[in-house]
Amino acid sequence: MSKIRVSKRLNRLIKSGICPAEDASKYADELKQLAEEIADRKSTKKQSNFFKALADETRLRILKLLEVREMCVCEIMIGLDLTQPTASHHLTLLENTGLVKDRKEGKWVFYSIVDSQLLKELHALEIL
């Protein structure tokens, strides 16, 4: 939105008496500072990636399997009828968001849940 339109909108808001501010440009700066303090881009990007990881049926199914026990990629592939690249893609996304971790044992890669308490809380919210 252009600065002129924003300024006009804030001026109308201030003149209406709804907004306690007196100066539109000063108020705009305060709003931008507030947004940066409570919703900075770095943390909201991290939160967005977390929810994107949960927004996929396959990844949710993987999390549910890993709640039962640690599994290697091949077990997840067979259990969910996935190809190896597909399983690895979803596991990488879950790992990048901090939901799962891996450990290598020879040629085998095993995955497990990082924070089982977090999954319990997601269950309580009926997200999982």
Just give the CATH number of 45-124. 1.10.10.10
pLDDT tens by residue, 44-66: 888 898 899 999 999 999 999 99
Entry pTM: 0.73
**Domain range list for the chain:** 3-39, 45-124
Q: Give the H/E segment covering residue 108.
A: strand 108-113
Q: Average pLDDT in the 24-31 region? A: 85
Whether 114 and 94 have beta carbons less than 8 Å apart is answered as no
- Average pLDDT of the chain is 89
Q: Is 7 exposed, middle or buried (0-12, 13-18, 19+ CB in 10 A)?
A: middle
- Cα distances (Å, whole numbers) of residue 77 to 37, 61, 100, 119: 43, 11, 16, 22
DSSP state at residue 75: H
Q: State the pLDDT at residue 23.
A: 83
Residue 78 reports pLDDT greater than 70: yes
